[in-house]
Structure 1
């Protein structure tokens, strides 16, 4: 399988790994070229408006229906995708994945931390950590519940999909759409990072409004793969996730046997370092929504099912302004992670790369006391926040937590301590 890319977001792509294997005039001719089997993969209802209709026509060696019956994997389900069930109003912060460098593959190394909504109703999101050192071999995965948004934190990933290959390094993200079969392998030692499992509307670019045509994430920087296929026979396994449960089925061939395809329902990757940051050049602090890379809209205009937001390197030039993120209570709920560097609102430690934090709806949060004192007294000159990349999954619904999230040594018991040293400065 060869790794190449096509540029664009929301485009209709066409790709063939062998000349003459992609039908030119019909999606489903009576006989497809070279004896291939046509198959449509739908990412939306058939009657969705044209602008939101998602599909891919696949031309494959065998129909994907060729597998044995699925049987449940109850033990692996309980260990990985255990459903979040407890609300917690406290501000919470976690250390990195507690199982780093354990010998396991991608599926075995997933641990759910928080989640909201559910896959049955196709709304909400779950946030997972992944950590693995082994390849998946003859095992493949398919998630019928939602899209997987990968945020690589350590190690380089190879994501082999039905439509082609993505290679993803720290500082990049990748999205594999719901229902698509894929495999994740390490390309450089152990790999760890985050997954946002989006149950709601597929991710799209946010509207730019008064910003105009340019700014934030540009569609041309999103990369989709070109066709690549595996012609392999033998004993293979397909693991599927259905309504929060894992099932597996035996197959006699690799499911990544798509020789040619066309459509707009595709996996893709994006380099977060290419994000065009919009920031104030006068005074005051913009709301973090200005850093939105992708959004999954809800039925309420302007209120997202989930926003994927980043806090990248940027110049700070505002005058007469408290520059770090301000104290805040939000009707939205925020799960944050740190890919590398130091987050500018938590400079006194604790929020470290690979870790995470949760500020649920109306849980007060803001800079720690050391950051507040320094930012209040510093002489304001233009300076650049550099060598950092934090992100946030922001949802309109409160996050529930898993038992895994509350395990000793993983959750930090002293997170609230960072706000206990504020003094009353006002004098009547």
Structure 2
């Protein structure tokens, strides 16, 4: 698409508070005043509530939006099963959980005519989508805009573009996501992905559990990390389209399809808390040490899906954004470690400061719980001998999906041609330097 589409997608509004009530109308007077569901909605519209949480969840966690649309969602034909393609869903049982360190090159080029849904390729995950627990790691590679409409009843979708821009036409309006942005589509929200470039590629975290929210800041105080005001919601925009439209619904792991006689993206106005948004990762306010030692990667958390255990996330979304390193007498790259959490890491652009080669944009690595990992030999040797002066890390943008359970691979990921078979070799040659003091 041309620059006009990018300009059109900039019709966004900054959220005044993450998770708070927001509203928008494409036509003046479309939002009713004082009543969510009046006897007659304005302009001949239908009032409909979309609930992303149970009615009785606490106010701070309750997600719901009122939609004022040309036709109600109930006006549709029956759905029928369709091919899942390379999309898989928890529980993941095709392979045994693997304790080995694993790394993949980018996905191969897609076949002509591959849209976003057909271009989804599942690496693995955990939990059970039918029980609303756990997560899945997907990648996408597409070269064709969607003509159909998609929704995911199993979970919310955190989309991380790595190559090419996306125009997301949602029930709430338009979102524009380029590499360096992340876009979130809540559970059940219908949308279409249109390509702003000839070929697009990226990552998706499908979160079956509690919706993503900003992490608590604790002793950091009131400010820092991702600021609520930097998340942008769409301005209401609607399609008043008559004629056949294919609608694909992901439900309990399978894809179902129905042909509507109108576009379901026909919401003229909305208000609520269950809504899509986009965030520019370069706005992340990085915090770190100004004395010595290396902070834990939790300090880079953008969004978290909490569990019933305080501080234990079902899945965290973490970004390694441009930042200064100034620690005295401190090994600057990420330290060697083993973790009770499991880590899938991807690279959006540039290079990652803990790996010399092999970890490339569009690729990814998986370090399941308690698998030992850290800087490769070349990085360790270089960092151990580096002059410790203030250093700006601004030549890469990496991220991590960190989850409380092991990520079990799909069969296609375990057998993929682009799986790096010799990943362990990067730690070979880490020599013994120990010498007892006399």
The offset of 1:102, in angstroms, is 4.3
In the alignment, what sits opposite 2:276?
267
Residues 205-235 of structure 1 show CA distances to partners (whole Å, capped at 9, x for unaligned) of 0011111111100000000001100000111
The answer to whether structure 1 residue 115 and structure 2 residue 122 are counterparts is no
Unaligned runs of 5+ in 1: none
The answer to whether structure 1 residue 364 and structure 2 residue 372 are counterparts is yes
Distance 1:261-1:408 versus aligned 2 partners, 3 A rule: closer
The answer to whether structure 1 residue 279 and structure 2 residue 261 are counterparts is no
CA distance in 2, matches of 1:297, 1:51: 13
Distance 1:354-1:147 versus aligned 2 partners, 3 A rule: same
Please state whether the residue corresponding to 2:84 is helix, strand or coil.
helix
Please state whether the residue corresponding to 2:206 is helix, strand or coil.
strand
The answer to whether structure 1 residue 256 and structure 2 residue 265 are counterparts is yes
Q: 2:313 aligns with which of 304, 318, 322?
A: 304
Unaligned runs of 5+ in 2: none
The offset of 1:100, in angstroms, is 4.5
Answer whether contact 2:164 2:178 (CA < 8 A) is retained: yes
In the alignment, what sits opposite 2:361?
353
Mapping for residues 196-211 of structure 1, pairs under 5 Å:
196-211=205-220
The offset of 1:16, in angstroms, is 0.7
The answer to whether structure 1 residue 97 and structure 2 residue 104 are counterparts is no
Moved segments of 4+, more than 6 Å: none
In the alignment, what sits opposite 2:385?
377
The offset of 1:105, in angstroms, is 0.7
The offset of 1:300, in angstroms, is 0.7
Please state whether the residue corresponding to 2:131 is helix, strand or coil.
coil
The offset of 1:11, in angstroms, is 2.3
Mapping for residues 137-148 of structure 1, pairs under 5 Å:
137=147, 139-148=148-157
Answer whether contact 2:85 2:118 (CA < 8 A) is retained: no
The answer to whether structure 1 residue 395 and structure 2 residue 403 are counterparts is yes
Distance 1:222-1:127 versus aligned 2 partners, 3 A rule: same
Answer whether contact 1:81 1:110 (CA < 8 A) is retained: no
Residues 25-44 of structure 1 show CA distances to partners (whole Å, capped at 9, x for unaligned) of 11000011111000000011
Q: 2:19 aligns with which of 6, 10, 13?
A: 10
Please state whether the residue corresponding to 2:413 is helix, strand or coil.
helix
CA distance in 1, matches of 2:110, 2:393: 29
Residues 71-130 of structure 1 show CA distances to partners (whole Å, capped at 9, x for unaligned) of 011xx3153226533211100000001234743111110000021111111111101000
**How many pairs does the alignment contain?**
424
CA distance in 2, matches of 1:66, 1:108: 26
Answer whether contact 2:88 2:410 (CA < 8 A) is retained: no
In the alignment, what sits opposite 2:435?
427
The offset of 1:10, in angstroms, is 1.4
The offset of 1:46, in angstroms, is 0.4
CA distance in 2, matches of 1:277, 1:101: 39
The offset of 1:172, in angstroms, is 0.2
The answer to whether structure 1 residue 33 and structure 2 residue 56 are counterparts is no
CA distance in 1, matches of 2:110, 2:294: 37
CA distance in 1, matches of 2:376, 2:327: 21
In the alignment, what sits opposite 1:182?
191
Distance 1:101-1:311 versus aligned 2 partners, 3 A rule: farther
Q: 2:65 aligns with which of 32, 42, 56?
A: 56
Q: 2:135 aligns with which of 82, 106, 125?
A: 125
Residues 155-178 of structure 1 show CA distances to partners (whole Å, capped at 9, x for unaligned) of 000101000000100000000000
In the alignment, what sits opposite 1:239?
248
Residues 294-347 of structure 1 show CA distances to partners (whole Å, capped at 9, x for unaligned) of 000011110000000011111111010111000000000000000001100002
In the alignment, what sits opposite 1:164?
173
CA distance in 1, matches of 2:76, 2:141: 29
> When the two structures are superposed, what TM-score results if normalisation uses the length of structure 1?
0.97
Q: 2:425 aligns with which of 399, 417, 420?
A: 417
Q: 1:79 aligns with which of 74, 86, 92?
A: 86
Answer whether contact 1:117 1:124 (CA < 8 A) is retained: yes
CA distance in 2, matches of 1:355, 1:82: 21
Answer whether contact 2:120 2:141 (CA < 8 A) is retained: yes
RMSD: 1.2
